[in-house]
Chains A and B, each alone.
Chain A
Amino acid sequence: GAGVSQTPSNKVTEKGKYVELRCDPISGHTALYWYRQSLGQGPEFLIYFQGTGAADDSGLPNDRFFAVRPEGSVSTLKIQRTERGDSAVYLCASSPQRGSYNEQFFGPGTRLTVL
């Protein structure tokens, strides 16, 4: 079956611009996670959705970052006033089970470059 998909695969933007990153989880998966991964680092947790609601957004670095999942499937990560330090690969993962301590299936990521 189809895995987790993310669009775009690459995004280049200028400092100060607004970007949206999209994640399509595996059909039927109720849990959805966003991570950020910089070179040489492991995935850094940003936010976790259970259904439509954000169950844990403690990893969002500041109020420039926001994510939604209005119908409990597709999620969008939104970054306002981008900074060069936001450059990273943004990974989305989904899980069929409640709780972030279950196997997560990752998408291929969106590589964000802020010039």
Chain B
Amino acid sequence: RKEVEQDPGPFNVPEGATVAFNCTYSNSASQSFFWYRQDCRKEPKLLMSVYSSGNEDGRFTAQLNRASQYISLLIRDSKLSDSATYLCVGGYQKVTFGTGTKLQVIP
């Protein structure tokens, strides 16, 4: 089983929609979790760290569910500029990147 798993998508959503991605992790000892954003043919950039208590940054909300071993990313009021691949990152002692979930926001 992969250490970090994500649905590759693509998720095609209209502008203004709310979309949520989940990511599961296999190592229950995993300590650190992040969401990175990667635009086509560009490098990954940190979007948010994921804290145990959950955290919000504008239209983005990240949550951690340790009991079920998943993290989530919620994007409200989707913008065209949100179109990208969202990489889930987590691990114990060293982090592992998921394969990414592709989001396409449609006008």
- Residues of chain A touching chain B, judged by Cβ–Cβ distance below 8 Å, are 35, 40-45, 48, 56, 91, 100-109
Contact = CB atoms under 8 A, between A and B. Distances in A.
Given A42-B97, A42-B99, A105-B46, 17 more contacts: A40-B99, A42-B98, A45-B94, A45-B96, A91-B43, A91-B44, A100-B93, A100-B94, A101-B93, A102-B32, A103-B34, A103-B46, A103-B49, A104-B46, A106-B43, A108-B43, A109-B43
25 contacts: A35-B97, A40-B99, A41-B100, A42-B87, A42-B98, A42-B99, A42-B100, A43-B44, A43-B87, A44-B97, A56-B94, A91-B44, A100-B91, A100-B93, A100-B94, A100-B95, A101-B31, A101-B32, A103-B46, A104-B46, A105-B46, A106-B43, A106-B45, A107-B43, A108-B42
B8 interface: yes
A23 to B, nearest CB: 12
B18 to A, nearest CB: 24
What 3 pairs across the A-B complex have the smallest Cβ distances? Answer: A101-B32, A42-B97, A106-B43
Interface residues of B, number: 21
Contacts of B45: 106
